């Protein structure tokens, strides 16, 4: 498919908007047909290529593409898989096998799990900007996390880290996981790591 120089320029502008990771404002729905149309144009030799992002979870990889909306970025394979990212946190996951739709929300301190909080207190875990995070599944599963704020990484590649603790199913206290955001030398996001299931490890989305 051939397109004019003007059309290529307009397409590059559209893709720049869709592929950016800067997020601001409102809820929109993403249509798979829109994704397929833009992908077909962008992968044509006469237009422009879409950067490759890979979602890694439970030992498997899927190719995904970012679509920037006003208040979030969606990473999708153009089919069933859609991961919502608000600029700091993965907030919703749909399309992973046997998990239904996963949603993240912050729970008030009044609703904290007492046994879990006792483990945190006993192990003298101190987290700044601490909050209780709940991951709910449409299939009925739930995991509760105790998380701190984000801090700039002081060693290693540039980026940010967030410590989160979850109650050990074996009753041995709290287990720590670290959420991550990796940045390029120009300050652009190039990787996201987030844990919602202590038995599976982190879900990662990486620019390849």
Could you give the percent of the chain with pLDDT greater than 70?
A: 63
Tell me the average pLDDT across 159-174.
81
Q: For residue 34, give the H/E element and its range.
A: helix 32-42
Are the C-beta atoms of residues 104 and 89 closer than 8 Å to each other? yes
Helix (H, G, I), strand (E, B) or coil at 116: helix
Place of tokens 């709940």: 134
Between the ranges 14-18, 54-58, 110-114, where is the mean pLDDT highest? 54-58
pLDDT at 13: 42
* pLDDT band at residue 155 using 50, 70 and 90 as cut-offs: confident
Are the C-beta atoms of residues 119 and 180 closer than 8 Å to each other? no
pLDDT at 194: 95
Over residues 4-29, the pLDDT tens digits come to: 444 444 444 444 444 444 333 333 34
E runs forming strands in 6-141:
53-57, 60-68, 73-76, 82-85, 90-94, 101-107, 131-137
Look at residue 124 and tell me whether its pLDDT is greater than 60.
no
Look at residue 64 and tell me whether its pLDDT is greater than 70.
yes
pLDDT at 189: 93
pTM for this entry: 0.71
């Amino acid at each position: 498919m051939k397109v004019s120089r003007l059309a290529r320029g307009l397409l590059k502008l559209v893709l720049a908007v869709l592929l950016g990771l800067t997020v601001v404002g409102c809820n929109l729905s993403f249509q798979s047909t829109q994704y397929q149309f833009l992908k077909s144009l962008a992968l044509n030799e006469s237009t422009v290529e879409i950067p490759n992002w890979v979602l890694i979870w439970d030992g498997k990889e899927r190719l995904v593409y970012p679509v920037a909306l006003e208040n979030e970025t969606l990473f999708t394979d153009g089919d069933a898989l859609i991961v919502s990212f608000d600029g700091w946190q993965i907030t919703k996951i749909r399309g992973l096998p046997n998990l239904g739709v996963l949603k993240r929300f912050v729970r008030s301190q009044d609703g904290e799990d007492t046994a879990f909080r006792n483990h945190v207190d006993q192990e003298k875990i101190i987290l700044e900007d601490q909050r209780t995070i709940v991951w709910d599944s449409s299939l009925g599963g739930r995991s509760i996390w105790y998380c701190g704020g984000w801090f700039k990484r002081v060693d290693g590649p540039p980026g940010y880290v967030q410590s989160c603790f979850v109650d050990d199913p074996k009753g041995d206290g709290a287990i720590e996981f670290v959420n991550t955001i990796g940045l390029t030398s120009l300050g652009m996001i190039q990787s996201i790591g987030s844990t919602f299931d202590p038995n599976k490890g982190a879900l990662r989305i990486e620019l390849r």
